A and B are shown apart, each in its own frame.
Chain A
């Protein structure tokens, strides 16, 4: 087994770090091994999920409401433009420098990072609902709240979930620098190679990448699960007619 790891060079060493404990660079503590990697992964996941959940609770009602009333498109699209221009590294470090370290502060910074894609996608999703369908619902006597909750929201769910998916993936990627706020995520071995060694650094990178792909796949499955049957049938029909493929989802729109 160890000969296989040796053949892989630095990557083999990194995989070995994930499964087996070893001495730290200074030789004072034991680092690595499944136990510690799991601990770091769990903290990473906890931080990311908390930030994304809070961001969804804040951003989703705003986006749906903006989309429902159909005004302030500028507001909905410019949040994502501003969100993109603000560098993630700057935002996190800025928060730590001004508010101090700790789980809550870094979580708050990540929430700010996750809000723009969710608002934009909720807005775009709601606006993308067929106007005739909305008119029909109104004609049937549904109130504004009912139209938003029972017609627009379900039909917009795939696009909304795509926004949450983008947010979650970028939050997991950025939670890597949370150790700067003394929150020990998988970023700890990455920013402290003097303790964990380059093998630990690379091992953490591999774990973060795997975690991201797993979260992305989970969100994709969830996205498929919440897609209303009508939309799935529509997509299948337009495909079988061979006209064109289902149009790629435009998850981020820019004006």
Chain B
């Protein structure tokens, strides 16, 4: 099996952090952290950055569809609730690095394996919030809708789901930032991303800081985008607030 990072790991040893070649030469002053080097080499981080963007957005989209479907099903058929909760909870408990490497032996290296793992991790975060949002809809509201002659399906899609939207979006925000974080380990599955950059030279501060800050910025940007979509989708929330 070809492990892309094996040559780097081959250097791991007791003196790994004190005796790395290159790190000091790249940026001798300031203990390896200088803005000049970051500015000069910033373009090298763009490819891993876009890989990371894809690694975050694709699992979020797939995970959202699956988790919401599961929650709607469990809301309709309550028998399924404890099973689904146990299932998504167990998925979330698997340690991410182990998950990547175990799946690697089944589905092979690459983007697809990473997406499967990351999608699995979004499940509990989104599912739990969709479920809570649906359950927090006041029983009176549902009764009123029922009394007005709405069918069960209409109640779900026109009353319960819109009212649960703020909680659902909160779950999506949590899922967005944690997916960016867990995608940092996706290089174990051979899917690249900013984590690979961090791991390729963990002793060079300029490298670690640049890649980490990009990850934090990506997480923040995704949360803000979800927040913006939430405001667009729930105009009535603002009407009440003002």
Residues on A facing B (Cβ under 8 Å): 9-11, 81, 84-91, 93-94, 96-98, 100-101, 169, 172-173, 176-177, 179-180, 182, 187, 190-194, 198, 201-202, 204-206, 208-209, 212-213, 216, 244-245, 247-248, 250, 252-255
Can you list 5 A-B pairs with a CB-CB distance of less than 8 A? A86-B212, A173-B98, A205-B95, A208-B95, A250-B128
Complex contact B195–A89 (CB within 8 A)? yes
Chain B's nearest CB lies how many Å from the CB of A77? Answer: 10
Q: Chain A residues with Cβ under 8 A from B16's Cβ?
A: 180, 182
CA distance A180 to B97 in the complex (A): 14
Task: Select B198's contact among A11, A90, A244, beta carbons within 8 Å.
Answer: A90
Interface hits, B67-99 → A, CB 8 Å: 78, 81-82, 85, 90, 93-99
Query: Is the pair A97, B208 in contact by a Cβ cutoff of 8 Å?
Result: yes
Q: Shortest CB–CB separation between residue A82 and chain B, in angstroms?
A: 9
Q: Which residues of A contact B96 (CB under 8 A)?
A: 173
With A87-B215, A90-B198, A96-B17 as given contacts, are A176 and B177 in contact (CB-CB < 8 Å)?
no
- A88–B181 contact, CB under 8 A? yes
CB-CB < 8 A to A88: which residues of B? 181, 184
Contacts of A169 in B (CB 8 A): 93
Selected interface stretch from B35-43, B152-160, B199-207, B233-241 = B199-207
Question: In the complex, what residue of chain A is closest to B12 when comparing beta carbons?
Answer: A192
CA distance A81 to B195 in the complex (A): 20
| B94 adjacent to A194 (CB under 8 Å) | no
Query: Which residues on the B side are within 8 Å of A206 (C-beta)?
Result: 98, 102
Question: Are B198 and A93 interface neighbours, CB within 8 A?
Answer: yes
Choose one: B78, B101, B135, B195; the contact of A201 (CB below 8 Å): B101
CB < 8 Å neighbour of B184 from A90, A179, A250? A90
Contacts of A248 in B (CB 8 A): 85, 128, 131-132
Q: In the assembly, what is the distance between CA of A223 and CA of B44, in Å?
A: 47
A250 proximity list for chain B (CB < 8 A): 128, 132
Closest Cβ of chain A to B5, distance in Å, is 9
Q: Whose C-beta in chain A lies nearest to the C-beta of B1? A: A198
Grouping DSSP codes into helix (H, G, I), strand (E, B) and loop, the B interface class, with mixed when no group exceeds half, is helix
B85, B135, B209: the one within 8 Å of A244 (CB)? B135
Contact with A along B181-223 (1 / 0, CB 8 A): 1001100100000010011001111001101100110011001
In the assembled complex, the CB of B124 is this many whole angstroms from the nearest CB of chain A, namely 10
Query: Which of the residues B1, B12, B95, B131 comes within 8 Å of A209, measured between beta carbons?
Result: B95
Q: Considering only CB atoms, which chain A residue lies closest to B204 in the complex?
A: A97
Does B66 reach chain A (CB closer than 8 Å)?
A: no
Within 8 Å CB of A202, what residues of B?
A: 101-102, 105
Give the distance in Å from the alpha carbon of A103 to the alpha carbon of B85 in the complex. 36
Give the residue of B97, B131, B205 whose beta carbon is less than 8 angstroms from that of A177.
Answer: B97
Give chain B nearest CB distance to A12 CB in angstroms: 11
Which residues in A have their C-beta under 8 angstroms from that of B209? 94
Residues of B within 8 A of A91 (CB): 212
| Least distance between B110 CB and chain A CB atoms (Å) | 16
In the complex, are the beta carbons of A205 and B14 less than 8 A apart? no
Q: For A253, what are the chain B residues with a Cβ–Cβ distance below 8 Å?
A: 170
B120-173 CB contacts (< 8 Å) to partner A:
125, 128, 131-132, 135, 170-171, 173
B3 within 8 A of partner (CB): yes
Contact of A179 among B12, B101, B177 (CB under 8 A): B12
Closest to A91 in B: B212
A66, chain B: closest CB distance, angstroms: 20
B93's contact among A84, A89, A213, by CB below 8 Å, is which? A213
Query: Which A residues lie within 8 Å of B93 (CB)?
Result: 169, 212-213, 216
